[in-house]
Structure 1
């Protein structure tokens, strides 16, 4: 069953993790900027001692607010609709009020003379400033959460569209291959039907949503190449250098198969003499690099519009973050697509398969 693209408001907007460093940094920077603006607006630029104490007070206050909201986040998140953000905003007011009252009392007890206003005015002004800044910060967090939900929804829809895309020409060619093999090689015909079934199972989302593994993706590539090998025969040669890759590495499903399909369709099929498709992979520092290369035909094949490569780029960026890269272009009379994926976990957690692993039937590597 296919799921429709959800509207951002159909899903809850989770509160940010107030104990995380990015959120605490946002609170600290916002508080420091507010204290600096107030100090500049006062016009007493020589009161550096008062400014330093103000920065220290705002920093301590931001940390207290962050810790309190972090401890109460699980409870706040159970509230319906937008109430988690409203409750978080309302909690800021008594925290700021109590902290301001304590700071004013401490200033009077120590006779530092840093606060010229009375206790009531000092508390009132700080609460008003906190109300405005708190509303702005929570609004920013809400918009960021909505943006992430929308990006996740669009990406899921793209993944669904990519998984559902088995090109008609590939299906028809595969069925014609099966029909031709039945009278002469029934065993090969049966293997081809099994390979085609596994490809359609993966493409139509038979497995649960989430990541697969690199080993499972390579098994799908073997099945796809086995079908194309029967159709193209000696025109298709495959070279592999993938021994150094971790097979358990989490990988979005059908990430490499469209790239390999493009290599066969645009690099091998237009050439009468065929050519070599190269699959390379290696660890480089804290990442793995996977390359798929095919020969460049004299004239580009019709039907290529780059949508598949663009979709792979978006999926890689969403899954692995800005450290991942996808590069594509001609190199030495060959078209090379290179993926650099960090070994550390990206924005999405890897999912586990409930179905059994795919069985790989690797092709023998042959020279041209």
Structure 2
């Protein structure tokens, strides 16, 4: 086990998902570029037929290697330290060498003239080219994997910071409201304590990077709004226009910071208060969540708050680069829109 002083085994370097289309595409592109460069090199006397056969051979090899890497990845991932990448490199070289040898043997028996006359040289050159290109490609995959690990760590750190960021004056105001309600409305005081308990449970939860559901997030937002309504009274008004399923995957504590910012910067500074609008609809390619509030006494600067930065980073981490978070002042209101691509693209494996 990692960290056990009696077991010096090094942690395994994470391998990319070889079962994904981007990996197959990368292998196809690298193979085609290599063949093209060799065909265009000075001294090469091959014609278009030889070039087409070489591209076909490398394409077939790319598909074969992708299938092999996909099937063997769980076994190779169990190896310690950088040995998973060494195992992948050996698999690439051996598979290409064996394929070149089989192709050369078949070609010599059929007399088709598809491979060079020297079978040994063909196998040697194929393995050498694969070794060099494979090392470069694996280096790229390793850098990308390390970057993803750092992104995951940063996202978890952001969630941890958000969970630890419970504003003291919000807690004090809530407890004062509970104390005032105990004698006049014990039931309301009990509900407020329950709402506070749920907020603290969500804020201090241990499952920091997992996905929850939209229904859970709206429930948490409702509890938060009920507590704030004790302090703001009729100054806080909420409108909802939500047409999305409650089981929609959503990162924990994604909407509550946006609603908190809307109250703190939009409703609270205004003497007459204001209305917060919560929306959710399907749009082409995914769904859109909207939180907007009236502009407070000072002009809003889109995207400079901790809450917005946190939401942007976590949405990008879970849903990829297609997910966006926009914030802008429009028609006297400050509008935050969160676009999430189809649920199938959510990175539920990032934990």
Matched, 1:23 2:45: no
Task: Give the SS at the match of 2:41.
Answer: helix
Give distance in 1, aligned partners of 2:281 and 2:193: 32
Name whichever of 246-255 and 166-175 sits farther off: 166-175
Cα distance, 1:148–1:280 mapped onto 2, change above 3 Å: same
Task: Give the SS at the match of 2:166.
Answer: coil
Superposition CA RMSD, Å: 2.4
Contact map agreement 2:199 2:220 (CA 8 A) in 1: yes
Alignment of 1:317-332 (within 5 A): 317-332=316-331
Q: Give the aligned partner of residue 54 of structure 2.
A: 54
Q: Which runs of 4+ in 1 moved over 4 A?
A: 112-117, 206-209
Cα distance, 1:206–1:77 mapped onto 2, change above 3 Å: closer
Matched, 1:234 2:263: no
Alignment of 1:333-348 (within 5 A): 333-348=332-347
Cα distance, 1:64–1:301 mapped onto 2, change above 3 Å: closer
Task: Give the SS at the match of 1:72.
Answer: helix
Cα distance, 1:21–1:337 mapped onto 2, change above 3 Å: same
Give distance in 2, aligned partners of 1:32 and 1:88: 20
Give distance in 1, aligned partners of 2:149 and 2:209: 16
Q: CA deviation at 1:219?
A: 0.9
Q: Give the aligned partner of residue 132 of structure 1.
A: 132
Return 5+ residue gaps in structure 2 as ranges.
1-8
Contact map agreement 1:18 1:66 (CA 8 A) in 2: yes
Contact map agreement 1:250 1:350 (CA 8 A) in 2: no
Cα distance, 1:350–1:245 mapped onto 2, change above 3 Å: farther
Deviations 1:231-288 (A, max 9, x none): 011111111122x221111111110001001111111111111111111222224422
Question: Normalising by structure 1, what TM-score?
Answer: 0.85
Name whichever of 166-175 and 126-135 sits farther off: 166-175
Task: Give the SS at the match of 2:19.
Answer: coil
Give distance in 1, aligned partners of 2:107 and 2:97: 15
Q: CA deviation at 1:220?
A: 0.9
Contact map agreement 1:270 1:301 (CA 8 A) in 2: no
Q: Give the aligned partner of residue 120 of structure 2.
A: 120
Q: CA deviation at 1:17?
A: 3.3
Give distance in 1, aligned partners of 2:75 and 2:148: 22
Q: Give the aligned partner of residue 95 of structure 1.
A: 95
Q: Answer 1 or 2: higher relative contact order, Cα 8 Å, separation at least 6.
A: 1
How many residue pairs align between the two structures? Answer: 341
Deviations 1:64-95 (A, max 9, x none): 22222223222222222211111121122222
Question: Normalising by structure 2, what TM-score?
Answer: 0.89
Task: Give the SS at the match of 1:314.
Answer: helix
Matched, 1:104 2:101: no
Cα distance, 1:53–1:305 mapped onto 2, change above 3 Å: closer
Name whichever of 97-106 and 220-229 sits farther off: 97-106
Q: Give the aligned partner of residue 189 of structure 2.
A: 189
Alignment of 1:1-368 (within 5 A): 12-44=12-44, 47-113=47-113, 115-116=115-116, 118-205=118-205, 210-242=210-242, 244-300=243-299, 305-349=304-348
